[in-house]
Amino acid sequence: MNSTGTQFLVRDTFMAAFVKNFIVVLLLFVLNYINGALVATFLRNQVFYEDPRYILFIHMVINDAIQLTVTITLFVLSYIFYAINVSFCCFFILVAVFTTRNTPVNLAGMAIERYIAICEPLRHAQICTIRRTYLLIGLIWLVSVVPDITDLFVTLATEPIDFFHTAVFCIRPNIFKDPVLLYKRQAFDALYFSLVFITLVFTYLSIMCAARGAMATDARSAQRARNTILLHGAQLLMCMLSYISPSVDRVIAQAFPSHLLEIRYANYLIVYIAPRFLSPIIYGVRDTKFRKYLRRYFVCRRAARWSSEVQHEDTAEDKMV
């Protein structure tokens, strides 16, 4: 099989490769364990099924878990095989792109829900219904998939069929090579993030104004909602790094060419993994309601495990007697 992507022929030593892969796989297990606990807490408590806020939150958790699993799998495979079949690579890249674009759009939806809850509390139940929440999730996937699925159609139309049987270093420019696709992606990135940024700023300012004129109890709720949107804004800015990181990567690599691999690795950790730690913090730790059920889930699991061990020991003693 032919191979492309020769600009990436610089390789790590075995020890450096082992350490880098060990770290990212460890982070994958830690984050997916946390995300799994959040999903299990949601599924085990029906009280969350009727709250659009938590439905949108758990959608983002699942989306982030998929994104992490796909990107880290590609990271590890790039060290094991280096060149990967184009068809296989294409599938994984599209899933990674869809889930990466999902996150900021989901953040905008969550900010709007908080805005309605604080600034239009009497209409919240009427506007933010469960059915509309699931329709919103469908819309999030639609606007995330449509701009990038066209890359696949253009590539199918412009590349020979043999191209999909070759092997490449699995990055987006090696698969979707038409220069027009790059300009299209930059245009959509600018549009999406501008709209999400404006949404977060508008909802934050609206909630801040509502907090000033609210009663003491409502003011506390508004303060929590305002802080949540601030964290969403920080999460959005970290997500935006994935769209400017290639340019920053090239500039830093030119300045420090001897540290090219370390720069790319640090860039990968900061851009693709670090933002995924914020979702559990925003709701799993800060949110009082979810934290209560999450703690109950862990306490119940430990209690059940202890009870099972005690019963096992008692059974063993009875057999000995």
Give the CATH number, domain containing residue 121.
Answer: 1.20.1070.10
CB 66 within 8 A of CB 144: no
For the chain, what is the domain count? 1
- Taking the whole predicted model, whether its pTM rises above 0.85 is answered as no
Using CA atoms, how far apart are residues 90 and 87, in angstroms rounded to an integer? Answer: 5
Q: What is the pLDDT of residue 222?
A: 66
Quick: pLDDT tens for 20-66.
Answer: 899 999 989 988 888 888 888 888 888 888 889 889 989 999 998 99
Q: What is the pLDDT of residue 13?
A: 79
Supply the DSSP symbol for 176.
Answer: S
Burial of 140-155, coded b for 16+ CB within 10 Å and e otherwise, reads bbeebeebbeebeeeb
Residue 82 corresponds to which tokens in the numbers above?
Answer: 């280096």
207 belongs to a structural domain: yes
22 belongs to a structural domain: yes
Q: Which residues contact 277 (CB under 8 A, 6 or more apart)?
A: 31
312 belongs to a structural domain: no
137 belongs to a structural domain: yes
Q: What is the pLDDT of residue 7?
A: 43
291 belongs to a structural domain: yes
Residue 42 domain boundaries: 3-307
234 belongs to a structural domain: yes
Q: What is the pLDDT of residue 318?
A: 37
184 belongs to a structural domain: yes
Residue from 54, 44, 46 nearest 288 by CA: 54
321 belongs to a structural domain: no
Under-70 pLDDT residues of the chain: 1-11, 211-222, 225, 232, 240, 242-249, 253, 257, 282-285, 297-321
Q: What is the pLDDT of residue 264?
A: 77
CB 186 within 8 A of CB 173: no
